[in-house]
Amino acid sequence: MRISHRQWTRYLADVGLPMLAYLLSVLGSALFAQRMPPGPWRMLVAALPVPAIAWLAYAEWKRLRRRDELRQRIELEAMTIGFGVSFAVVVALVFLDLHGGVNIPLHVAAFVMAACWIGAQIWVRARYRYGWLQSDRDEPS
């Protein structure tokens, strides 16, 4: 399936600014936090992406609310499965770390969660035989 110009334009209109804010805040945070001395200002700079993440989540939530009921069900099921699996994996890694089995840095949790969410999306969509762009064709402009 090919993404149409209308679909791409609609997606950019919905999440373009929040995504740009997120990318810029991550870049700014990464560049400036490492150059600052430890302390409260460094922590604030390190937390710079948090408002952009909230804005991006809100934009995605608004997009989800416009979807049909089947698409909402698919998204909810994928999020539930992704969260459940990623929580179990992160907790297992924490216990392994606590008991000296492995030494795992905290940022690995974000990658585990992302991988589980993507895997759940693929699995649920395959189960429902629902393509990535299927509901976008019928979405109102």
Distance CA(49)–CA(28), nearest Å, equals: 9
Please identify, among 32, 66, 100, the residue that sits at the C-terminal boundary of a domain.
66
Q: What is the mean pLDDT of residues 68-84?
A: 92
Residues 5 and 17 in one domain: yes
Distance CA(8)–CA(20), nearest Å, equals: 15
102, 93 Cβ separation under 8 angstroms: yes
**DSSP code for 102:** -
Distance CA(62)–CA(21), nearest Å, equals: 17
- For residues 111, 114, 115, 118, the Cα torsion angle rounded to the nearest 10 degrees is -170
Residues 44 and 92 in one domain: no
Residues 80 and 54 in one domain: no
pLDDT tens per residue, range 1-18: 555 677 778 888 888 999
Question: CB atoms < 10 A from the CB of 85, how many?
Answer: 18
Residues 94 and 28 in one domain: no
Residues 140 and 72 in one domain: yes
Range of the domain at 76: 68-141
Which pLDDT does position 54 carry in this prediction? 96
Two tokens at 124?
Answer: 């649920």
Distance CA(12)–CA(6), nearest Å, equals: 10
Higher pLDDT, 133 or 6: 6
**Residue 137 — very low, low, confident or very high, per pLDDT cuts 50/70/90?**
low
Tokens 């400036």 sit on residue: 32
